[in-house]
Amino acid sequence: MPLASQLELSGSPFEQTSKATITYTWDPTSTGTGDLASGETPSSPQAQVLQLDSTMGGANANTADAKDVTSTVVVNGDPRLSGNNVLIALKSLTPGYVYRVILWFTGSGTNHVPSRFFHVICKV
CA neighbor of 116 nearest in space, from 15, 22, 44, 12: 12
Quickly state the pLDDT bin for 56 (edges 50, 70, 90): low
Torsion angle of alpha carbons 70, 90, 87, 49, nearest 10°? -30
Mean pLDDT in the chain?
85
Alpha carbon distance 80, 89 (integer Å): 9
pLDDT given at position 61: 58
| Strand spans (E) along 27-84 | 42-53, 67-68, 80-82
Quickly state the pLDDT bin for 121 (edges 50, 70, 90): very high
Alpha carbon distance 35, 31 (integer Å): 7
**CATH no. for 14-122:** 2.60.40
Q: Give per-residue pLDDT as tens, 2-19.
A: 546 788 888 889 999 999
DSSP label of 70:
H
Handedness of CA 28, 90, 18, 117 (dihedral sign): negative
Better-predicted residue by pLDDT, 52 or 57: 52
Q: Give per-residue pLDDT as tens, 57-88.
A: 555 555 667 899 999 999 999 999 999 899 99
Those residues whose C-beta lies under 8 Å from the C-beta of residue 102, and which sit 6 or more positions away, are 47, 48, 49, 50, 115, 116, 117
pLDDT given at position 1: 37
pLDDT given at position 60: 57
pLDDT given at position 57: 54
Better-predicted residue by pLDDT, 65 or 90: 90
Task: Give me the residue spans of the domains in the chain.
Answer: 14-122
